[in-house]
Structure formats: C-alpha cells, structure tokens
Amino acid sequence: MPTSSAPPPSAPSGIPWSALARLIRLQNQTGTYLLLLPTLWALVLAAQGLPSLRLLAVFIGGSFLMRSAGVILNDLADRSFDRQVIRTKNRPLASGELASRHAFVLLGLLLLTAASLLFLLDPLVFWLAPVALLLAALYPFSKRWVPIPQTMLGLAFGWGTVIAWAAVRGRLDTPVWCLFGATAAWAVAYDTIYAIQDRDDDQRIGVQSATLFFGSSIHLGVGTAFGAMLVLLSVAGWLARIGWPYYATLLGLALFFSAQIGQLRRPVDPSQAFRMFRTHVWVGVVVLAGLLAGVLT
C-alpha cells in the first residue's frame, strides 16, 4: 500500500505575534547590546563626555530596530541551512511556523522606523546609513563564500560607531576609524566563540565559519582579534587625549581576554561557548565605563 509524505508545515493565516517576537529574538537582546555598546563608545569619545539624551535615545532605539531587522534578514537568507542545524531548526521561518510575507512586512516596518530616526541626526548620517543596511544584508550570504564570515558581521556592527561619531561632530575624524576597526575585531572574536555551538553542523552542511577556518588554532585566531581590538582602542584613546583610567581599563580587559584564550586552548562544549560569548556584553560595558572615566579625568 503506497504511503504519502506529510505536507510541509504551513504558517497560520492570522498575525502570529509570538512567532514574530521570536523572529526578532525579543526574549534575547544580547545582540542589541553588542551593537549598541560600540555606538555609545563613539558617542562618548566624540562628545568628550556624556552625549545628549536625544542622541542616546536615538541610538538605543536604532540599535534595537537594526538588530531586529538584521536577524530577520539572516533568517530569511538561512532558512534552508537553519532546518539542518539543531540549534536553529525551530526558528519560526525554518520550521514553517511563520510565513515569509509576515517576515518581510515586519522587516519593512522596522527599516522605515529606523529611517525616520535619521531626520533627528546630522545630514552626514543620511549618506552613511545605507552602508549599514548593505553590510547587514550581505552578512548572511558571506557564510557561503567567505572563510571568516564573522569579518562581515564585524564590519556591520562597527559601522554603527561611524554613524554615531558623525551624529555628534558632523564629520569623521581619525579616532572613529580606530573604533570602527576595534569593534570589527571584537565581533570577529566573540562571534567565533559563539560559532563553536554550531561547529559540527556547519561542517556537515558546508557553511563557512571562523571556527572551522581556525580549527585547532582557534585560540590564536581569537587572540589575534582581541589583540587588534585592544591596540586600536588604545590608539583611539591616545588620539583623543583621554586620561589614564581608560588605559587601566584596557589592561584589565587584556587579562580577561588572556583567560578566555586559555579556555580556548582546551575543548569547549556548546554551553560553555555560549556563556563565554555572553560575557562580552560586560566587556562592552567595561570599555564604556573606561571611556567615561578617561574623558572626565
């Protein structure tokens, strides 16, 4: 007796609010913090102190909107891959719980709202903002071709520092490019750690990842990225002529990074990798505190 295959799951016809919330990772804002914190670095350094409440509100809101849009772009591009990865197979688009049309509508609303915030900022930001969207859109596809796709993520997250600096000063000065590079290097480091969770699945389905690229030398790859971050942050502070508490903060971070590099010299399981990744929110907070202390000294 012939058997028939079960039809693929279909998305509900109404507005699936719960699935939309999970699509933008509403319950987990780690990515928003990691996008927001470098923009706060740039705001503080460019303003040589506390930025205005208006700028803080714009960049907090903008970081949430752009990170939410970014994960939608990622999930739309990676649906076929996500179905094959244990950690991601139950995401709303991969599982079929959510229709693509709902994702596109929400994406449009998020981008329109983010674009409306540009009217509150310096005109230079209008020319810089499209680059952020382009980098966010390219990142999911870089996993197909770029050996270290985390580099594209770093460029996307780092561009927020450029926009923030322009919003304060209306021009781009040398220190912001150091912040941009430091943020990109930092993202390569923490996202390589994050990717340890999917190492076996990525290898099986043929997705590029820094974790696979570095292999047994992952501690060296991550350590190099950490080192680049610290050097560039130091140069940014020197160019801006801020005080010694900032450099003391960077020294403390160097010790913390050394401990993480030591952990990576040994086998790291997925749950441990995720815990290591999440500590980087506090790394961003520490850098911000060091900058505030340095500029106010």
CATH number at residue 167: 1.10.357.140
Per-residue model confidence (pLDDT) at position 207: 87
Per-residue model confidence (pLDDT) at position 81: 85
Answer whether residue 49 is part of any domain. yes
> What single-letter amino acid sits at 229?
M
Domain range holding 133? Answer: 29-296
Three-state DSSP state, 99 = coil
**Percent of the chain beyond pLDDT 70?**
96
Total domain count, the chain: 1
Q: Closest Cα partner for 121 from 180, 177, 183, 59?
A: 59
The per-residue pLDDT for range 219-258, each reduced to its tens digit, is: 999 999 999 999 999 999 999 999 999 999 999 999 999 9
pTM for the model stands at 0.92
Length of the chain: 297
Q: Range with the lowest mean pLDDT among 3-12, 66-75, 193-202, 219-228?
A: 3-12
Task: Give the integer Cα–Cα distance in Å for 276 and 193.
Answer: 7
Q: What are phi and psi of 142, to 5 degrees?
A: -65, -25
Tokens, residue 185 = 């290097």
Decide if 161 contacts 38 (C-beta within 8 A). yes
Answer whether residue 220 is part of any domain. yes
Residue 266 has pLDDT above 80, yes or no: yes
Spatial CB neighbours of 42, under 8 Å, sequence gap ≥ 6: 160, 161, 162, 164, 165, 168, 176, 179
Answer whether residue 188 is part of any domain. yes
